[in-house]
A and B are shown apart, each in its own frame.
Chain A
Amino acid sequence: MHEDILKEIKKGNRDAFRHLYDEYAGYALRTAKAITRNDELAKDAVQEAFIRVYRNISSYDSTLSFGAWFYRILVNECNRLLSKEKKVVPIDTSLMEGNPQLTEPSEEGVTDLYGIIQHLADLYRIPLLLKYIKGFSEKEIADILNLNQNTVKSRLFNGRNLLRDQLSLMEMEGK
């Protein structure tokens, strides 16, 4: 995001904020839809993320790329809404790292690649969604998810392998 636009947003310039919105909203919505698997939650998450960005723009520290900061807020918001929706305590899935069977239990009705992605555990699913929707680098995904870059690299690698295996299995079964 261009420095001048950010400066104008800090001053409360509506047109500058609209510019930022137009640049970020499309992919933000796609990302939120994919993470929450729900259009209404995605809409709420994106809306809240932009409100938080506007209200906290003075707190933005340029040592983090603006994109990474924005998507960190967005992903946190998606997770917050999902937790609220499910009323469950988030599980620390990092403890399950390395388990090859990290897909969700029920795969009935999964007939395409997108369905397989959406059945992956979040520790693989979310980095993959960030990589393929917006094209974030491993470093950027690490910044967004507050993870070590090597952890992201390994999760992307393993997630992609899981996808490939599940896809082969599905194609062999003639789904």
Chain B
Amino acid sequence: MDHMDERIKKEILKHTEDSIDQLKDEIWSHLDQELFQEKSRKRIKMRKKSKVIPFIITAAAAVMILFTTQTDTGMAFIKQIKDIFVPEKEIIQSIEGTEEPTDVVLQEGKDAEYVIYIDEERYKLIKGEDSDIITTKEPLEERYPEVSMTIEQFKNITPEDIVASKETELASEYSKVTATESVSDPVEGFKLHAIDGGTEWDSPVTNVYVIDNKNGGSFVITEKYFLEAAEGHGARFYAMLQEFKIVE
């Protein structure tokens, strides 16, 4: 450490030393009251994964046979997927208490390893190098927090390992992280939920779904929206996610 470094360090420490002991005592007193006066404390416990097998569509062997016979194999495979899943359909989603019929369109994800039906009136799928993002068709004004649903696959990381690292990540970024749970709806897998703040209309909310890809890896779906949009974008993401299928 040279002279300049020593000088910087000394100056910062000198200007931050006032009332440290007093503040430490005040904070401890508050922590002690809040954390240890309660008889029980909330602990995040990840429930054991359900034994119900995740809903995976196994494309018929015939598709694979056809797949190998095509000259443009990638396109052929996508075509086969489109043959299996109807290209468009109507779903009923519950938006703010009202049943709303919505037309959704089939989209295949990166390398055709999953399919999902998108509400293309409101959202668009942007395919990326490592992940795909579903976001609003029209960009939101700057005052709104991010609204998106990211789908990515980690081919060599198990769902349990992903959950462990996501729990750490969320705990460092959001003020409230609820217990990880196993879910069967909108997808079969683990669900992590976190919110920052939580009392204001624009408090950022995230839901992370971790799904076994049945091949030693995981799909991770990260929804981001804000508190006031929970029954709007949140509900629409939920409905679209119900149509997410892994293609094996």
Binds A, one of B6-14, B64-72, B150-158, B237-245: B6-14
Cβ of B19 within 8 Å of any chain A Cβ, yes or no, is yes
The answer to whether A113 and B172 have CB atoms under 8 Å apart is no
Cβ of B58 within 8 Å of any chain A Cβ, yes or no, is no
Within 34-76 of A, Cβ neighbours of B (below 8 Å) are at 34, 39, 42-43, 46-48, 50-52, 54-56, 58-61, 63-64, 69, 72-73, 76
The answer to whether B7 and A113 have CB atoms under 8 Å apart is yes
Within 30-54 of B, Cβ neighbours of A (below 8 Å) are at 30-32, 34-36, 41-45
Cβ of A7 within 8 Å of any chain B Cβ, yes or no, is no
The answer to whether B44 and A59 have CB atoms under 8 Å apart is yes
Within 87-130 of B, Cβ neighbours of A (below 8 Å) are at none
Cβ of B185 within 8 Å of any chain A Cβ, yes or no, is no
Instruction: Identify B20's interface contact among A21, A30, A34, A73, CB under 8 A.
Output: A30
Q: How many residues of A contact B (CB 8 A)?
A: 50
Q: Chain B's nearest CB lies how many Å from the CB of A7?
A: 13
Q: Chain A's nearest CB lies how many Å from the CB of B27?
A: 5
Q: How large is the interface on B (under 10, 10 to 19, 20 to 34, 35 or more residues)?
A: 35 or more
The answer to whether B31 and A47 have CB atoms under 8 Å apart is yes
Cβ of A25 within 8 Å of any chain B Cβ, yes or no, is yes
Cβ of A157 within 8 Å of any chain B Cβ, yes or no, is no
Cβ of B215 within 8 Å of any chain A Cβ, yes or no, is no
C-alpha spacing A73/B32, complex, angstroms:
20
Question: Taking CB as reference atom, which chain A residue is nearest B34?
Answer: A51
A30-B16, A56-B171, A73-B172 given as contacts; is B27 within 8 A of A61 (CB)? Answer: no
Question: Taking CB as reference atom, which chain A residue is nearest B171?
Answer: A56
The answer to whether B13 and A30 have CB atoms under 8 Å apart is yes
Chain A residues within CB distance 8 Å of chain B: 10, 12, 14, 17-18, 21, 25-26, 29-31, 33-34, 39, 42-43, 46-48, 50-52, 54-56, 58-61, 63-64, 69, 72-73, 76-77, 80, 84, 89, 112-114, 117, 128-129, 132-133, 160, 163-164
Top 7 A-B residue pairs of the complex, sorted by shortest distance between their CB atoms: A59-B167, A56-B171, A61-B168, A30-B16, A59-B171, A72-B172, A113-B11
